[in-house]
């Protein structure tokens, strides 16, 4: 059986994915946030539609004026020219791309983009396993997990489920996972990402030491 891909190939691949995603979407890469938005895709699509309607300040003002007129039964007021001035009122200046403050705020990437990210992760792992000759369908974590934790199938499922719930809770509490903080956040030198990465990687090293050396 052939060996795993070299570590530097994985490092280059992660760097290219992180940089490419950031350049293409102008947003930080985050797997846990992508998963959350894809699971709640109906809610996210509704939010995207609302944001598309009110991206332009002029459209927002018109919508508010129409809603006010509908509620109070009055027509929106039209500014009248000064007395003696026969010139028609000047139209409001239209915003141009890059000048609208409401449009410059970074919104989450579209749900389709984040769904494509998750699918690419699965396909990439499958391709790597096939090309390295290590692809195998299994329903446990391998012999090392059975030796260190448990070999009972029922207990193994319970342990993995509880562990997954704790990981999900931790990523929401920390505002990101190893991809969002460790890859993208640290790459952008964000202090909160550096602290978060140091904490969860430090704990991971400590737990691994306890499993292999103490337990």
SS3 per-residue string spanning the chain: CCCCCCHHHHHHHHHHHHHHHHHHHCCCCCHHHHHHHHHCHHHHHHHHHHHHHCCCHHHHHHHHHHHHHHHHCCCCCCCCCCCCCCCCCCCCCCCCCCCCHHHHCCCCCCHHHHHHHHHHHHHHHHHHHHHHCCCCCCCCCCHHHHHHCCCCHHHHHHHHHHHHHHHHHHHHHHCCCHHHHHHHHHHCCCHHHHHHHHHHHHHHHHHHHHHHHHC
In this prediction, residue 100 carries a pLDDT of 42
Please give the chain's pLDDT, 215 residues, in tens.
456 678 888 888 888 888 888 888 777 777 877 787 787 777 777 777 766 666 666 766 777 777 777 777 665 555 555 555 555 555 544 444 444 443 334 566 777 888 888 888 889 888 888 887 778 877 777 777 777 777 788 888 888 889 888 888 888 887 788 878 888 888 888 888 899 889 888 988 888 888 777 65
What percent of the chain is predicted at pLDDT more than 90? 0
């Amino acid at each position: 059986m052939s060996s795993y891909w070299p570590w530097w190939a994985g490092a280059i691949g992660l760097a290219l994915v992180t940089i490419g995603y950031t350049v293409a979407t102008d947003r930080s890469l985050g797997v846990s946030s992508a998963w959350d938005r894809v699971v709640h895709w109906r809610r996210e699509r509704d939010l995207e539609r609302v944001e598309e309607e009110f991206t332009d300040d002029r459209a927002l003002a018109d919508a508010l004026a129409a809603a006010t007129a509908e509620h109070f039964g009055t027509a929106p007021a039209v500014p009248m020219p000064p007395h003696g001035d026969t010139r028609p009122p000047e139209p409001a200046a239209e915003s141009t791309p890059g000048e609208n403050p409401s449009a410059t705020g970074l919104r989450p990437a579209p749900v389709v983009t984040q769904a494509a990210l998750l699918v690419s992760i699965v396909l990439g792992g499958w391709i790597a396993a096939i090309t390295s000759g290590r692809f195998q369908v299994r329903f446990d974590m391998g012999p090392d997990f059975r030796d260190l934790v448990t070999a009972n199938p029922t207990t193994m499922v319970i342990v993995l489920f509880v562990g997954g719930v704790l990981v999900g809770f931790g990523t929401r509490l920390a505002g990101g996972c190893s991809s969002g903080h460790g890859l993208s956040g640290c790459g952008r030198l964000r202090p909160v990402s550096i602290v978060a990465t140091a904490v969860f990687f430090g704990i991971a090293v400590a737990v691994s030491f306890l499993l292999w050396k103490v337990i």
